[in-house]
């Protein structure tokens, strides 16, 4: 298909996507907001690990937009799945490849500068032609300044589609060119803690902080990260997030690919030759994304996680990194490092007068009603209603799981 002279090609398998890799990387080199989360190194391993584990109905529907036979000017890495909205009712959801496992942030629709409007018109044309495949769409954790998404969102509103926007918190540190300048961004209390805790650790132990640079050790270091992360969360009565076989498979493939391209920031803190803290980060250009971390709770009193972060930041600044991105969340533990609050955009939309539009309108009304009830009902009444609603959702989820197992 084509719209406004842009040729649209659909990719429905990983083998087909692999043929796009060179064009894909060239597009990202021209896209100012490119991040690790839009690269084939992230999305292809993600699909290999989670594409089927998230549901048997998962399908790829990646759309490439070309203005010449070999020049990719925009990419919409989409996928299809089916979600249950009631015990016996399901809808077809169109969403970004990478969404659904709670691993991906900064998902995007990368567009070569100058092609935003043509891309938006072409994408709308494409989705209209594919309307038999989907009921509604969710584009989650989008950077709010994304040129392609903003052009597309404005077009949806002009065409009177049903559009619902929400935001979710995020945070990142803008790093200066020198460590001393960064320290001045912090409170005097934090500056003192960084020096004090590092010196105290060096008096008690033989301290070594290092970055993994050899692919041969990645598997063993990942296993250490899993153990540290799990040990910390088990003490709190929870499994954490790194026990999943699919996630471990994903991290293993991702780490090897990024290491080959010098884009892996995998740091360890060793005390007396024992790894007691680890940080798993992703480098893209002058940005590092902090993805996962873990520390041994037996050394909590030594603030090993705190010391490791401070020394990693010091080295990253020296290496020319100018942004340290905590991804989702704006909790105090991030803000004290000088992180500035930000947000991601979640965009949901559907065709006018469609089943998906009716569903989104219902969800929107329910959300507004819930907010009104929360503001106006007495606390005791609200708690009773809330607990009742939670119980209903749990029973429906259990019923749905039982039915899925039977199928």
- Is 99 exposed, middle or buried (CB count within 10 Å of its CB: 0-12, 13-18, 19+)? buried
Check if the beta carbon of residue 107 is closer than 8 Å to that of residue 142. Answer: yes
Q: What is the pLDDT averaged over residues 381-385?
A: 51
pLDDT band at 363 (very low <50, low <70, confident <90, very high): confident
- Lowest-confidence segment of 29-38, 221-230, 378-387, 395-404 by average pLDDT: 395-404
- Is 262 exposed, middle or buried (CB count within 10 Å of its CB: 0-12, 13-18, 19+)? exposed
| Cα distance between residue 61 and residue 74, in whole Å | 14
Residue 320: its pLDDT value, please? 98
| Cα distance between residue 48 and residue 70, in whole Å | 26
Q: What is the pLDDT averaged over residues 54-68?
A: 90
pLDDT band at 238 (very low <50, low <70, confident <90, very high): confident
| Cα distance between residue 60 and residue 79, in whole Å | 4
Give residue for tokens 């939670």. 390
Task: Tell me which of 108 and 363 has the higher pLDDT.
Answer: 108
- The yes-or-no verdict on residue 208 having pLDDT over 60 is yes
Q: What is the pLDDT averaged over residues 364-371?
A: 66
Instruction: Extract the tokens encoding 17.
Output: 């996507």
- The yes-or-no verdict on residue 82 having pLDDT over 70 is yes
Residue 120: its pLDDT value, please? 97
Residue 389: its pLDDT value, please? 56
- The yes-or-no verdict on residue 402 having pLDDT over 50 is no
Q: What is the pLDDT averaged over residues 270-291?
A: 97
Instruction: Extract the tokens encoding 222.
Output: 């990942």
How confident is the model over 97-141, as pLDDT tens digits? 999 999 999 999 999 999 999 999 999 999 999 999 999 999 999
Q: What is the pLDDT averaged over residues 22-42?
A: 98
Residue 159: its pLDDT value, please? 96
- The yes-or-no verdict on residue 5 having pLDDT over 90 is no
Residue 141: its pLDDT value, please? 97
How is residue 339 annotated by DSSP? P
- Lowest-confidence segment of 5-19, 24-38, 358-372 by average pLDDT: 358-372
Residue 375: its pLDDT value, please? 60
Give residue for tokens 């009603």. 369
Q: Cα 343 from chain centroid? A: 12
Residue 380: its pLDDT value, please? 62
**Nearest of 91, 164, 101 to residue 133 by alpha carbon:** 91
Residue 132: its pLDDT value, please? 95
**Nearest of 21, 95, 16, 12 to residue 54 by alpha carbon:** 95
Q: What is the pairing mode between strands 323-328 and 162-174?
A: antiparallel
Q: What is the pLDDT averaged over residues 321-333?
A: 95
pLDDT band at 13 (very low <50, low <70, confident <90, very high): very high
Residue 386: its pLDDT value, please? 56
Residue 396: its pLDDT value, please? 45
Q: What is the pLDDT averaged over residues 195-212?
A: 96
The 3-state secondary structure of the chain reads: CEECCEEEEEECCHHHHHCCHHHHHHHHHHCCCCCHHHCHHHHHHHHHHHCCCCCCCCEEEEEEEEEECCEEEEEEEEEEEEEEEECCEEEEEEEECCCCCCCCCCCCCCECCCCHHHHHHHHHHHHHHCHHHCCEEEEEEECCCCHHHHHHHHHHHHCCCEEEEEEEEEEEEECCCCHHHHHHHCCHHHHHHHHHHHHHHHHHCCEEEEECCCHHHHHHHHHHHHHHHHHHHHCCCCCCCCCCHHHHHHHHHHHHHHHHCCCEEEEEEEECCEEEEEEEEEEECCEEEEEEEEECHHHHHHCHHHHHHHHHHHHHHHCCCCEEEEEECCCHHHHCCCCEEEEEEEEEEECCCCHHHHHHHHHHHHHHHHHHHHHHCCHHHHHHHHHHHHHHHHHHHHHHHHHHHHC
Residue 88: its pLDDT value, please? 79
Residue 232: its pLDDT value, please? 83
- Lowest-confidence segment of 37-41, 46-50, 85-89, 166-170 by average pLDDT: 85-89
């Amino acid at each position: 298909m084509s719209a406004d002279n842009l040729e649209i090609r659909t990719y429905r398998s990983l083998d087909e996507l692999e043929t796009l890799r060179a064009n894909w990387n060239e597009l990202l080199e021209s896209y100012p907001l490119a991040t690790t989360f839009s690269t084939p190194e992230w999305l292809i391993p993600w699909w290999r690990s989670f594409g089927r584990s998230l549901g048997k109905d998962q399908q790829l529907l990646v759309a490439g937009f070309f203005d010449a036979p070999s020049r990719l000017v925009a990419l919409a890495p989409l996928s299809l799945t089916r979600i249950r909205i009631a015990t016996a009712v399901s809808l077809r959801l169109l969403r970004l490849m990478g969404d659904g496992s709670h691993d991906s942030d900064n998902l995007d629709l990368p567009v070569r500068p100058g092609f935003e409007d043509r891309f938006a018109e072409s994408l709308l044309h494409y989705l209209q032609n594919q309307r038999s495949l989907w009921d509604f769409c969710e584009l989650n954790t989008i950077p709010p300044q994304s040129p392609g998404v903003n052009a597309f969102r404005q077009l949806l509103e002009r065409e009177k589609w049903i559009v619902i926007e929400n935001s979710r918190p995020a945070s990142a540190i803008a790093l200066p060119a020198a460590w001393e300048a960064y320290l001045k961004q912090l409170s005097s209390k934090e500056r003192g803690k960084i020096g004090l805790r590092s010196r105290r650790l060096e008096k008690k132990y033989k301290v070594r902080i290092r970055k993994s640079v050899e692919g041969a050790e990645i598997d063993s270091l990942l296993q250490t990260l899993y153990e540290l992360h799990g040990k910390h969360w088990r003490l709190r009565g929870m499994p954490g997030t790194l026990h999943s076989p699919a996630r471990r498979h994903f991290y293993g493939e991702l780490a090897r690919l990024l290491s080959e391209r010098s884009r892996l920031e995998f740091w360890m803190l060793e005390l007396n030759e024992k790894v007691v803290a680890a940080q798993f980060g992703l480098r893209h250009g002058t940005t590092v994304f902090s993805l996962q971390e873990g520390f041994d709770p037996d050394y909590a009193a030594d603030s090993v996680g705190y010391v490791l972060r401070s020394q990693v930041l010091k080295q990253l600044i020296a290496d020319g990194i100018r942004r340290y991105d905590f991804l989702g969340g704006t909790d105090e533990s991030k803000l004290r490092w000088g992180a500035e609050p930000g947000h991601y955009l979640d965009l949901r939309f559907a065709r006018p007068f469609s089943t998906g539009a009716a569903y989104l309108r219902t969800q929107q009304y329910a959300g507004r009603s819930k907010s009104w009830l929360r503001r106006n009902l007495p606390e005791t009444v609200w708690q009773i209603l809330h607990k009742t609603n939670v119980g209903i959702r749990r029973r429906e989820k259990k019923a749905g799981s039982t039915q899925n197992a039977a199928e």
